Amino acid sequence: MEPNLILTGFMGTGKTTVGRAIAERLKRPFIDTDAWIEERASKSVAAIFAEDGEDRFRAWEAEACAAFCEPQELIIATGGWTLGPAKNREVLEQGGRIICLTATPEKIIERLSAANDRPLLASDDRDARVRALLKQREAMYRSFAWQVDTTEMSPAEAMLHVMAVYGAITNLVEPDTFELPMHERSMSILLGADLLDVLGVMLRARGLRGNVAVVSDSNVAPVYGDRVAKSLAMSGFEPVLLRVPAGEASKTLDTASVLYEKLVEGGIERSGLIIALGGGMIGDLAGFVAATYLRGVQWIDVPTSLLAMIDASIGGKVGVDLPSGKNLVGAFHPPLMTISDMTTLHSLPGREFRSGLAEMIKASVIADVELFAMFESGETDLPEMMRRSIQVKVEVVREDPFEQGRRAALNLGHTIGHGLETASKFELLHGEAIAIGTIAEARVAERIGLARSGVADRIERVTERVDLPARFVDLDIDEIILLMRSDKKKQSGRLKYALPRDIGDVVICVDVKDDVVREVLIEMKEQA
Ligand SMILES: NC(=O)c1ccc[n+]([C@@H]2O[C@H](COP(=O)([O-])OP(=O)(O)OC[C@H]3O[C@@H](n4cnc5c(N)ncnc54)[C@H](O)[C@@H]3O)[C@@H](O)[C@H]2O)c1
Ligand SMILES: [Zn+2]
């Protein structure tokens, strides 16, 4: 039995019309949960609301979900809030694939103008009521991985898009979704398997069209470029593939200029779309190009390195390096979506993979005691550990989207790490430098009486456990300290540290004496 197809979304997005049409086309049973409830209650939804109250209706909805939890190839249209309660969603997900239909408030109001059987809209100012309800439910609707924006679609078109998405996802495991509001834009983050192949269908169904440029690097493009191009082409896009040499050396204004020219040649207009396919370097570069080309075009981040999936792709910061330092030119320009296909990690070199683990350990020290415990116990459930790391970054950025306070906590390990990375002339990968930097900063925190004793040893043990370096060789300590000062994150001449007080508890400090840092580094330097 194939999984059921479950349609959710606000009223007026087309759930019933589309669901019924698909059921007819596929010759499958169609269930409208409202109608199912009316039949059992022997009264209309409006009457249930009026006579028994909304709570009774919600209880009926829970019963409906329980009744359709098995895969039976059903096509189910749910009520607008049926999947609001997490329990209902879990139950239906067991036997089906949920697709959320969306439309703009204007379109919804237009479509509902004739309806008078909607108890929740019984209000004098229906427009305001629709907008308020939509706002209230926005986060819930956005939390579904699979979305079809029906605003510009006729019912027949919407049916085709829903069927395409359903066909593409029937064999996929449901991805995890995270929602990150970033003022006027908000970004959706998806983490799952085999998502590259459904990229085209997903973007098209969300109403994205126009020309698409895929920016990738010389390591990633040969492995995944064709798959992405094919997926886009199957959904009617005509992708242009732009490739830059792999490595941080490509993250420059010069490369950006080359890309701008190619975008013009490729006919990418303001309505066009840029897709970044690669590690954090590509995300930063392509995102920066998206932020500036034609004063800003929309972009999608498809991170392929562990570090990019759990860190670089989240938070909307994009930028390029200058000869005088990393990330010195940039913008806040969040992608519409970040789509992480974990299966791309199979081709990631081991050293790069471990480099990503360093940022996950960092995330656990900042705000997730349980994740840290997973590292301590040698846990290998990578998807769960990635989810937790993403959640830490999402929460921190949510609190401080424009980096004015709390977000500085993400710099844990980075003040000293930056000095190490630069002093090694980038022989140390970023994550490797951060691994050592995190231990060093924890030692500093202990030495100044901030951290509870033993914290640094615990961090060192998990670092070694995942085969990341915990010490450094051959670097000049005075040079490291000097280079730390060239970090743009220093504040009015004083170095700013994010230091742990304990696992899961990090604070910002500015009064750390260089001598303390020097003592710690001397201890951590291994004689070659
Ligand atoms: N914007 C932010 O908030 C933010 C945060 C952290 C880091 N960053 C940036 O991210 C960059 C570091 O990210 P990174 O470590 O992903 O660097 P990267 O993009 O250079 O990738 C590392 C290496 O792995 C290769 N690679 C990536 N995915 C692969 C795959 N699936 N298979 C095979 N090879 C693959 C790349 O070609 C490269 O050689 C830096 O430029 C850093 O400044 C940005
Ligand atoms: Zn980092």
State the chain's mean pLDDT as an integer. 94
User: Which residue would you say has higher pLDDT here, 392 or 173?
Assistant: 392
The whole-angstrom separation of Cα 288 and Cα 507 is 30
> Which residue's CA lies nearest to atom 3 of ligand 1?
312
Predicted pLDDT at 485: 83
Predicted pLDDT at 185: 76
Predicted pLDDT at 123: 67
Give the CATH architecture of domain 181-347: 3-Layer(aba) Sandwich (3.40)
> How far is the centre of ligand 2, averaged over its atoms, from the C-alpha of 431 (Å)?
6
> How far is the centre of ligand 1, averaged over its atoms, from the C-alpha of 248 (Å)?
8
> How far is the centre of ligand 2, averaged over its atoms, from the C-alpha of 480 (Å)?
17
> Which residue's CA lies nearest to atom 30 of ligand 1?
348
Q: Residues 279-291: what's their mean pLDDT?
A: 98
Tokens representing residue 6 in the block: 């479950």
Give the pLDDT band of residue 87 (cuts 50, 70, 90): very high
Ligand that comes closest to the CA of residue 437: 2
pTM comes to 0.93
Closest-CA residue to 479 (of 439, 517, 431): 517
What digits encode the pLDDT tens for the residues 201-231?
999 999 998 899 999 999 999 999 999 999 9
The whole-angstrom separation of Cα 345 and Cα 349 is 8
Kindly report the backbone phi and psi dihedral angles of residue 80, in degrees, each rounded to the nearest multiple of 5, phi listed first. -60, -30
User: Which residue would you say has higher pLDDT here, 487 or 406?
Assistant: 406
Distances (CA, A) of 267 to 38, 264, 286, 438: 53, 5, 17, 45
Predicted pLDDT at 125: 81
Q: Residues 178-184: what's their mean pLDDT?
A: 85
Closest-CA residue to 503 (of 304, 408, 366): 366
Predicted pLDDT at 490: 55
Domain-by-domain residue ranges, the chain? 4-173, 181-347, 350-526
Residue with tokens 């126009």: 210
Nearest atom (ligand 1) to Cα of 326: 43
> How far is the centre of ligand 1, averaged over its atoms, from the C-alpha of 224 (Å)?
15
> How far is the centre of ligand 2, averaged over its atoms, from the C-alpha of 497 (Å)?
14
**CATH H-level superfamily of 350-526:** Dehydroquinate synthase-like - alpha domain (1.20.1090.10)
Predicted pLDDT at 7: 98
Answer whether residue 315 shows pLDDT above 80: yes
Predicted pLDDT at 325: 84
What digits encode the pLDDT tens for the residues 346-365?
999 999 999 999 999 999 99
Give yes or no for a contact between 5 and 74, defined as CB atoms under 8 angstroms apart: yes
Ligand that comes closest to the CA of residue 243: 1
> Helices marked H in 293-349 — which ranges?
306-307
Give the pLDDT band of residue 120 (cuts 50, 70, 90): low
Nearest atom (ligand 1) to Cα of 344: 31
Q: Residues 46-69: what's their mean pLDDT?
A: 96
> How far is the centre of ligand 1, averaged over its atoms, from the C-alpha of 467 (Å)?
19
Protein residues whose CB sits closer than 6 Å to any atom of ligand 1 = 217, 219-220, 223, 246-248, 251, 278-282, 284, 304-305, 307-308, 311-312, 315, 317, 326-327, 344, 347-348, 352, 355, 430
Class of domain 4-173: alpha beta
Predicted pLDDT at 528: 64
Ligand that comes closest to the CA of residue 311: 1
The answer to whether domain 4-173 and domain 181-347 are alike in fold is yes
> How far is the centre of ligand 1, averaged over its atoms, from the C-alpha of 283 (Å)?
8
What digits encode the pLDDT tens for the residues 488-511?
555 566 788 999 999 999 999 988
Give the pLDDT band of residue 326 (cuts 50, 70, 90): confident
Answer whether residue 259 shows pLDDT above 60: yes
The whole-angstrom separation of Cα 348 and Cα 156 is 42
The whole-angstrom separation of Cα 78 and Cα 332 is 37
